[in-house]
Structure 1
Amino acid sequence: MNVARWTRLATVALGACLAVANVGTASAAPADFYQAPSPLPSGASGDVVRAETYAPTLSVLHQAGPWPSGAQRIMYRSTDAHGSPVATTATYFDASLPWSGAGPRPLVVLAPGTQGQGDQCAPSKLFADGVHYTPPLDFAVEYEATQAYTLLSGGMDVVVIDYEGLGTDGMHTYVDRRAEGHAVLDAARAVKSLPGGRIGDDNPIGLWGYSQGGGAVASATEMQASYAPELNVRGTFAGGSPADLRPVSAALDGGLAAGLLGYAVNSIYAAYPETRAEIDGALSPAGRQVLDDIATQCVPETIARYGLHRTSEWTRDGRSVAELIDALPTVRAVVDEQRIGRSAPRSPVLIVQGRNDDLIPHAQAEQLAADWCRLGATVDFSTEEIPPIAPGFIVGHGLPMATGMPRALDWMTDRLAGVPAPSTCTA
């Protein structure tokens, strides 16, 4: 391993250490911060509705000042899947370390992996709380702190989004590509519009996400040209991206993360009223209760209660969620519309995917790369060759996030510094 890669690994380790250095010392976010004004003030997508500073929970003990960053929670206008205005929240970290690359300091929009569907799971709340726990099983820790603090250690400003309905009113629109992509792009607009902020039109922007976050930034980068063409997006790291929900649904069922399919069903049910009659007709009374319970949970509780179960337990006739996608015409149309890969990103993309990912199949990530290459995008597709380890227990999905991070950090640093991007499209 060369010196540069060892340096990146050390940076990742620093981020992880910072993420656990001082948990639980900050005061919780005020509940009323997340209550959006009704109606929303007039304005444009990305306008800041409210913002407030707070001392970051995760910091080096006994360190004077906001190191490695200060923090603000922000509420901003975004757009839901149907084009209507909605309030969304995020946390903005302004790095106190110098930017390690060339050119002006960049901003990275970090779309988090799956947190849950209950409002208590919102990343901006967890960054403030440190740890959330309500007996017996309602537990959450903001694991994205590792990625956020790794980026901050390179001098990049970072804004971590909460997604629509996570913390704020309404159902969290889990894996809805348009709602999530809008939230990513509007977060960058919001940081640019903060009074007295240091991110402007000349500052480069990177999009970063893994798992659910990988899908969110993949959607954002392919819609950026039409939705937010003014943003100076230089590159996107999309790891473990659920680009096609059909194979993902089949892969999750019966494994430790089976309950996450409940988040997706709840999201579709809430955001697409035309699907409700079909879904209601397919669910058993017990299945309806499961989905109602899941809508209030964070990932650890959902895994504890519903991991290693089959979604066929939720339905009247024993069909699984994956089978119902094909059997219910309105649901099928909504799921098919969620597929990512139909528009070319205008900035480079790095896709990192585990060969034996037990949640997000490798083949659908390959297809995403092929689709974008065919449309003329610059794509660097990288496979993490990790052997199968406890299939169905999320290990195959989680490990590539860690092993791929040094490469992703090198790649993103180069893009934000203006270095031309490599491409595997010709291969």
Structure 2
Amino acid sequence: MPLRLRFLAVLAAVTTAAAVGVSAPAQAAVTIPAFYTPPATLPAADGALIRSEPLPLALSLPGITGTLPGTATRIMYKSTDSNGQPVAVTGAYVEPAARWAGGGARPLVVLAPGTMGQGDQCSTSLALQRGLILGTENDQLTVSIGYEVLSIYRLLAKGIAVVQTDYAGLGTTDRLHTYVNRVDEGHAVLDAARAARALPGTSITAKSLIGLYGYSQGGGAVASAAELQATYAPDVKVTATYAGAPPANLAAVTAGIDGTELAGALGWSINGFAQSDPELRSVLDRYLSDSGRTVLGRLSSMCVGDAILNFAGEHSSSWTTTGQSVTEIIAAEPLLKSFIDDQRIGTRKPAGIVRVATGTSDNLVPHRQARTMAADWCALGGKVVYAPVVLAPTISPLINHFGPLLTDQGTAVDWLGRRLAGVPAASACALLPLQP
């Protein structure tokens, strides 16, 4: 059975077991393990390991020489946030059981997860352990499914080592997750590679090629990392990056998400903006209604499933005293507009070669702004392979966004695997003007 179908079958079994009360990797109540509480003092070096421990995988099978797909380790490492302050970030490293057949040292891929939420229980490293998180958080139902397992396991099946970042504030209990902050996310991705190389007992060597993989929020994170590599982490030599559906222009993405099934992501963005730049709090205070503050407070501890169940279809105009949407407020407030403009990805030449994939019918993380990012990189002399994913549009923006994730995932993993095996790929910027 193909890996994708095996994964879906196991995930369906896990979900069914939880629903009928059978033992499964789900929690009756959400408890964040003590591991996720950072120490008072952090190391000086970015990417330095703070702590690690074995991580039992929710979905694993016995193999001839060990556990498939591999052996996992939960990690906490030091990074630097967008304000230049030290921050502890968690994640997971998985040593593959499969042999690397590509020649040379086993490569490493840093996987940046798609949107998981803003509650600490939503972190991908916890999802790897529990599979399905179903319980209560702050007296409300919380639902989180580790959907990134599919892409992680596809990479592991090729013998590629994977380190996954939870991002700043997602999992760690000392701060709020700064959702779609490009610098926080880009730094977390690059420092995850450093942390993986520092982890003892792995097959990663100094000669291991490094790739980056991400879709949606993750696509933006790895795109940012590819841009920041030269100045922030020149020691992390990035060979190739897959950036799927990147939210490169947050003004366009904000307009696209408002009123959709994933409207809650607007709240995560606003919460994160206020944490990253405290000066924005006074701007938000002028516009947020009491009900809007309540919504943002609830969203700060929610996962994707919770947000869809509670806020699907809501418009941000219902959160403000003026009836203006978040998009209209960004346009009206210079401080907020400047902050959003500074989040734009596509203004710096990326490291290595980047495959940018975007669904032509994606109106949640709009196709056009992702294509613009690819074109901007080409204009800067970047090596880009632009891959529009043509699917028929549906009435659901969420399906229009996630359809390309599954449709293109196998192709994306294969493309990245070939680059890490040393097979070169030429930039295809000359073709971009001819593509949708």
> Could you tell me how far 1:115 is from its partner in structure 2?
0.3
* 1:98 aligned residue: 99
Aligned to 2:425: 421
Kept after mapping to 2: 8 A contact 1:202/1:232: no
Contact 2:14 2:132 in 1 (8 A): no
Residues 137 and 300, structure 1, Cα contact 8 Å, conserved in 2: no
Q: 1:72: which partner in 2? A: 73
SS of the residue corresponding to residue 67 of structure 2 reads coil
Q: Is the 8 A contact 2:105 2:207 kept in 1?
A: yes
Q: Tell me, in whole angstroms, the C-alpha distance in 1 between the residues paired with 2:94 and 2:57.
A: 9
Report the TM-score, using the length of structure 2 for normalisation: 0.92
Q: Which amino acid in the other structure matches residue 73 of structure 1?
A: R
For the residues of structure 2 that align with 1:12 and 1:296, how far apart are their CA atoms? Answer: 30
Mapped to 2, the partners of 1:196 and 1:29 lie a distance apart of: 29
Q: Which residue of 2 aligns with 1:149?
A: 153
Partner Cα separation in structure 2 for residue 32 and residue 81 of structure 1: 26
Q: Is 2:317 the counterpart of 1:285? A: no
**What is the match of residue 373 of structure 1?**
378
1:284–1:316: 8 Å Cα contact kept in structure 2? yes
Structure 1 runs, 4 residues or longer, greater than 4 Å off = 14-23, 25-30, 61-64
Counterpart-to-counterpart distance in 1, 2:351 and 2:60: 36
**Kept in 1: contact 2:105–2:204 (CA 8 A):** no
1:236-293 superposed Cα distances (whole Å, 9 cap, x missing partner): 0000100000110111111111111000000001110111100111101110110011
Cα RMSD of the aligned pairs, angstroms, is 2.0
Q: 1:328 aligns with which of 325, 333, 338?
A: 333
Distance 1:99 1:174, change over 3 A: same
Moved more, 212-221 or 134-143: 134-143
**Separation in structure 1 between the aligned mates of residue 377 and residue 233 of structure 2, nearest angstrom:** 19
User: Does residue 129 of structure 2 align to residue 124 of structure 1?
Assistant: no
- For residue 236 of structure 2, the aligned residue among 217, 231, 241 is 231
> How far, CA to CA, are the matches of 1:131 and 1:215 in structure 2?
25
Q: Quick one: distance in 2 between partners of 1:189 and 1:20?
A: 35
Structure 2: runs of 5+ lacking an equivalent: 16-23, 432-436
CA contact (8 A) 1:283 1:314 kept: yes
Partner of 2:116: helix, strand, or coil? coil
Distance 1:64 1:416, change over 3 A: closer
Is the aligned partner of 1:38 residue 2:40?
A: yes
1:211 corresponds in structure 2 to 216
Farther-moved stretch of structure 1 (400-409 vs 12-21)? 12-21
Residue 21 (structure 2) aligns with: none
Q: Partner of 2:61: helix, strand, or coil?
A: coil
Alpha-carbon separation, structure 2, partners of 1:100 and 1:148: 18
| Structure 1 counterpart of 2:199, from 190, 194, 198 | 194
Paired with 2:364 and 2:67, the residues of 1 have a C-alpha distance of 37
The Cα of 1:107 is off from its aligned counterpart by 0.7
Partner of 2:312: 307
Residues in 1 aligned to 2:25 and 2:335: alpha-carbon distance in whole angstroms: 48
* Cα offset, 1:149, TM superposition: 0.6
Amino acid at match of 1:322: T
Give how far 1:14 is off: 4.7
Contact kept in structure 2, 1:255 and 1:307, CA below 8 Å: yes
Equivalent in the alignment of 1:383: 388
User: Does the CA contact (< 8 Å) of 1:358 and 1:391 recur in 2?
Assistant: no
CA deviation after TM superposition for structure 1 residue 358, in Å: 2.4
Cα separation, 2, equivalents of 1:192 and 1:322: 41
Correspondences of 1:127-276 after superposition (within 5 Å):
127-135=128-136, 137-168=141-172, 169-276=174-281
Letter in 2 for 1:329: P
Q: What is the aligned partner in structure 2 of residue 5 from structure 1?
A: none
SS state at 1:203 partner: coil
How many residues are paired up? Answer: 417
Cross-structure match for 1:357: 362
Q: 1:73 to 1:19 in 2, by over 3 A?
A: farther
Partner-residue secondary structure (3-state), 2:77: strand
Deviations 1:85-134 (A, max 9, x none): 11000011100101132321111110000000001101111211222112
Cα distance change on mapping 1:109 and 1:29 into 2, 3 Å: farther
Between 235-244 and 197-206, the greater mean CA deviation after superposition: 197-206
Aligned to 2:410: 406
Q: Distance in 2 between matches of 1:303 and 1:193?
A: 38
**Share of identical aligned residues, percent?**
44
Q: Distance in 2 between matches of 1:106 and 1:123?
A: 21
SS in 1 for 2:403: helix
Distance 1:123 1:37 in 2: 21
User: What code does the residue aligned with 1:363 have?
Assistant: R
> 2:114–2:215: 8 Å Cα contact kept in structure 1?
yes
Instruction: For 1:31 and 1:55, locate their aligned partners in 2 and report how far apart those are by CA, in whole Å.
Output: 13
For 1:127 and 1:29, the matched residues in 2 are separated by: 15
Per-residue Cα deviation, 1:380-407 (whole angstroms, up to 9, x for no partner)? 0011110111233x00001101111122
Could you tell me how far 1:422 is from its partner in structure 2?
Answer: 2.8
Question: Which runs of no fewer than 5 residues in structure 1 stay unpaired?
Answer: 1-8
